[in-house]
Amino acid sequence: MDTDKFVRTLGWYRVARREALGLSPQTRAALDAYAAGVNKFVETHQDAPPLEFMILGINWEPWQMADSVVVGKIMAWDLSGNMTSEVLHLNIAARLGDGALATLFPQLPRTTPPILASPDAPVVRIPGADQLRSMLGDVAGGEVGSNNWVVSGAHTTSGRPLLANDPHLGVRNPSIWYLAHLSGGGFDVAGYAIPGTPGIVIGHNASIAWGVTNVGPDTEDLYQERPDPNDPRRFEYQGAFEAAQITIEEIKVKGAASLKLQVVETRHGPIVTPVVAGVKQTLALRWTALDPGHLLDALYRLDLAANWQEFRDALSQWDVPGQNFVYADVGGHIGYQATGKVPIRPGGMSAGDTPQPGWDGQHEWQGYIPFDQLPTSFDPSSGMIVTANQRIVDQYPYKISNEFDPGFRAQRIQQLLSAVDRLTPDDMTRIQMDVVDVSAAPFLSFLRTLPVTSDRAKRAQQLLRDWDGSMRADDAGPAIYWSWQLHMSDRVFHDKLGDDLYHDFLGEASFEALYDLVRSPNNGWFVVLADPFHHGRDDLAALALEDTLNELSQRLGPDLATWQWGKLHTVAFPHPIGEVLPMIFNLGPFPNSGSFFTVDNGPFDPTQPYAQTSHPSMRMVVDLSDLEATRVVYATGQSGQPFAPHWGDLTSLWLNGGYVTLRFATVRQGSLEGTLSFKAR
């Protein structure tokens, strides 16, 4: 119910209905045909409903155009997160002062590469962040990232480009992806579709190939609103009170009366306070996805694009979620294009990092960065483009985000690409499975040698000295390292932030802050407030190492020789009904390699370690010299139905670095498993 209330308050479906009306006639015709196909399938399979429908006792409602549009809103939410960051920043500043923000959210040393050397375009205490993060559960991936890269023929054995992509999303089952080859009606395109929408989101046609990662632009702002003391449906703006829009949402409840939810929207967006526990201020959310857009128009045109210009023309309509697109074509060209509606804000590069007054008119968005001024590159002299959610450029006139990935994955990918003179598809797949964490080096440089007293701590140090930094499932090194990271964060930050704020802060943010702090061994943050006798980086690191050994001895036993990362770090693919019937609906858990900053990505929730929470949701390698040899895999299988032949049949391949071939022109030469035909009445 909480999730329904939150989604209805934001108004995803209200926006989707309006957006559907503004799409091009061609896109609307495609959506109508898609809906007709979905509904015809349901009509002809009434005797075999999905297992979930039978268990829950619910009936199918006919698919509509807006249902396809709202899928884009779900993806946009999945790839957003600045709203919770704004709340966290404000909470920390209220407790420790504004100066603490620079320490806890550092701009890391720029030793990691931006996507482009230079773009071609010119140049109040508010608790409840955890409630926001957890409310949508499996919908929100959390700590999501992605990798893609493209290299020109100058770097390949074939003399033609190679393109690779692996988007990182929250673990889930069924998969968000569905492999398809669409042929007909002017389309001939193959790759990954998202069930619920027509078209290929990531893949290739006969002329071009593309892949995406998340830009992570700041597209959400919270505004503090002042209601009229005499009428709570009116809100102050520039000295006057103006009426809000009131909507009544009906939430049907099985076996009970429907719930009527009142949604209040100001000029900035819906008031989210009633559906977020602990928030007392009246907060409205402005988010680019709550304005009608043209995402499906962009997708329609993208699948038909035959060259760089048509590709960019299509992406000019890709409004949310903002993505880093890499491009390659059969003519040998490569390119990059950033997309998305990114607000232009008054107040400089930090504007929008915390909730702002909504009543004075001083913090209003001033439009969006024009598409022609978004970063782009075509046939760069390096012959190589790597994106892994890192900052896009070093010099840029607009704020895109202050929360880019630190760039360790991008750094590792570039290292591996540069180490080979002539790259092959095998090199691409090897890189996608790489689990070396380059961010570990500064920590290991002192952790391996700091003074310790116990024999087991000395044995642990020897294991770390023998370890190469690879986050392999069969190695003890990653288990010691990541447990130590958690305990070191606890020693450094917990007593200063308090329980609630520390819980919200712990994760990539705390690891990045610690990465910056350890360069200064005598920094004032390295102190135990309850016992100032313990101070300095190495003293706290030694205490954290003993904490680690206590934890792992309880989890894995006293013999360090038997410890393995995969005994802690597992990946499972939970189904929404899996909490009730896990043996039927869930896949896993499986021991797995990787961690937060590895190319083969494997982050976990540090408040509930060490089960993996996000994963490379699919992998793809396209060789532009041979479109019949595209390599693909994703974590579950084509079917969403338990016990079906293709339920979970790709999981073993995905875990072990295997792929299947996605044919293109020769697809009909393969073995045919079945056909589905719809006939008009």
Torsion angle, CA of 226/227/229/232, rounded to 10 degrees? -170
Q: What is the pLDDT of residues 452-465, one digit of tens each?
A: 999 999 999 999 99
Is the confidence at residue 135, as pLDDT, over 60? no
Q: What is the pLDDT of residue 656?
A: 97
Is the confidence at residue 670, as pLDDT, over 90? no
What the block records as the tokens of 25 is: 């006639």
Spatial contact of 288 and 227, defined as CB atoms under 8 Å apart:
no
What the block records as the tokens of 43 is: 């009509």
Instruction: Please list, in sequence order, all residues whose beta carbon lies within 8 angstroms of the beta carbon of residue 446, skipping any fewer than 6 positions away.
Output: 518, 521, 537, 538, 541
Sheet holding 208-214, edge to edge: 178-184, 187-193, 202-205, 208-214, 323-329, 334-338, 376-378
Half-sphere exposure of 94 toward its Cβ, with a 13 Å CA cutoff? Answer: 14
pTM score of the predicted model: 0.94
Q: What is the pLDDT of residue 115?
A: 78
Is the confidence at residue 625, as pLDDT, over 70? yes
Q: What is the pLDDT of residues 279-324, one digit of tens each?
A: 778 999 999 999 999 999 999 999 999 999 999 999 999 999 999 9
Is the confidence at residue 676, as pLDDT, over 80? no
What the block records as the tokens of 649 is: 């049949």
Concatenated DSSP letters for 341-397?
A: --B--TT-TTTTSS-EESSSSSS----B--GGGS-EEES-TTSEEEESSB-S-S--S
What three-state secondary structure class fits 112? coil
Q: What is the pLDDT of residue 145?
A: 79
Is the confidence at residue 128, as pLDDT, over 50? no
Instruction: Please list, in sequence order, all residues whose beta carbon lies within 8 angstroms of the beta carbon of residue 434, skipping any fewer than 6 positions away.
Output: 412, 416, 598, 599, 600
The average pLDDT across 58-86 equals 89
Q: Cα–Cα distances in Å, from 529 out to 208, 227, 519, 526? A: 59, 42, 21, 9
Distance CA 512, CA 494 (A): 15
What the block records as the tokens of 32 is: 């109508």
Distance CA 462, CA 118 (A): 44
Q: What is the pLDDT of residue 86?
A: 84
Strand pairing of 220-224 and 356-357? Answer: parallel
259-266's contacts with Cβ under 8 Å and 24+ in sequence apart are: 259/1, 261/5, 261/8, 261/9, 263/8, 263/9, 263/11, 264/233, 265/11, 266/223, 266/225, 266/235, 266/358
Single-letter residue type at 607: T
Burial degree of 455 (CB within 10 A; 0-12, 13-18, 19+): exposed
Q: What is the pLDDT of residue 116?
A: 80
Cis peptide before 397 (omega within 30 of 0): no
Q: What is the pLDDT of residue 62?
A: 95
Residue 190's pLDDT band (cuts 50, 70, 90): very high
Q: What is the pLDDT of residue 121?
A: 35
φ, ψ for residue 278, nearest 5 deg:
95, -15
Q: What is the pLDDT of residue 127?
A: 38
Q: What is the pLDDT of residues 540-564, one digit of tens each?
A: 999 999 999 999 999 999 999 999 9
Cis peptide before 321 (omega within 30 of 0): yes
Residue 667's pLDDT band (cuts 50, 70, 90): low
Please provide the average confidence, as pLDDT, over all residues in the chain: 92
Q: What is the pLDDT of residues 214-226, one digit of tens each?
A: 999 999 999 999 9
Is the confidence at residue 278, as pLDDT, over 70? no
Residue whose structure tokens are 């949604």? 263
Spatial contact of 565 and 463, defined as CB atoms under 8 Å apart:
no
Q: What proportion of the chain, given as a percentage, has pLDDT over 90?
A: 79
